[in-house]
Copies of this chain bind each other. A is one copy, B any other.
Amino acid sequence: MSDLLNRLRGRGWRMTAQRRVVAEVLDGDHMHLTADEVHARAAARLPEISRATVYNTLGELVSLGEVLEVSTDRRAKRYDPNAHRPHQHLVCAQCGAIRDVHPAGNPLADLPDAERFGFTISNVEVTYRGICPDCAAA
Q: Which residues in A have some Cβ–Cβ distance to B below 8 Å?
A: 71, 74, 77, 90, 92-93, 99, 101-105, 107-108, 110-112, 115-133, 136
Contact = CB atoms under 8 A, between A and B. Distances in A.
A118 B119 CA distance: 36
B74 A121 contact: no
B126 A130 contact: no
Contacts of A115: 90, 101-103
A126 B102 contact: no
B130 A122 contact: yes
Contact of A107 (B99, B110, B117, B118): B110
A120 B125 CA distance: 20
Interface centre among A115, A119, A122 (most CB of B within 10 A): A119
